[in-house]
Amino acid sequence: MAKKQENYLDFIPVINPKNSWTQDKQGIVTIDMVHRGFYARIAQKFFHTPRISHIKLDEYGSFLWKEIDGTRTVGALAQKMKAQFGDKAEPLYDRLVQYMQILHNNRFILFRGKDKAAS
């Protein structure tokens, strides 16, 4: 039996509660990523790597991050981006899907119904 093709635009992103975040007066978001696990502890102890990395998002990423509410789909977020930035957001869908994949691969976001912690 063939597996049903999933549409990435139907995925619902959720901010991973393991990472905190702040925003500055200009609305730029900084994600605080705590390095956890055995190898991270070794790197911190022997190579003096930081326990927390601060990842500063750009204008587009910050806008998108603040719109992730755990109910909107990637497609709905794309429409919000289009309304906010117009043609400056193009190529919208390619950029948005790639950006969401990066956020997901770094465990900044989870997908409801796909990742155990987000369900």
What's the confidence (pLDDT) of residue 92? Answer: 94
Q: How far is residue 60's CA from residue 64's CA, in Å, rounded to a whole number? A: 6
pLDDT of residue 117: 66
Nearest to 61 by CA among 41, 44, 77: 77
Burial (0-12, 13-18, 19+ Cβ within 10 Å), 77: buried
pLDDT at 48: 82
pTM here? Answer: 0.81
Alpha-carbon separation of residue 29 from 6, 17, 61 (angstroms): 30, 15, 8
pLDDT tens per residue across all 119 residues of the chain: 445 567 888 999 999 998 899 999 999 999 998 877 888 788 778 888 788 889 999 999 999 999 999 999 999 999 999 999 999 999 999 999 999 999 999 899 999 988 876 65
Q: What is the largest CA-CA distance in the chain?
A: 53
When computed from its CA atoms, the radius of gyration of the chain, rounded to whole angstroms, is: 16
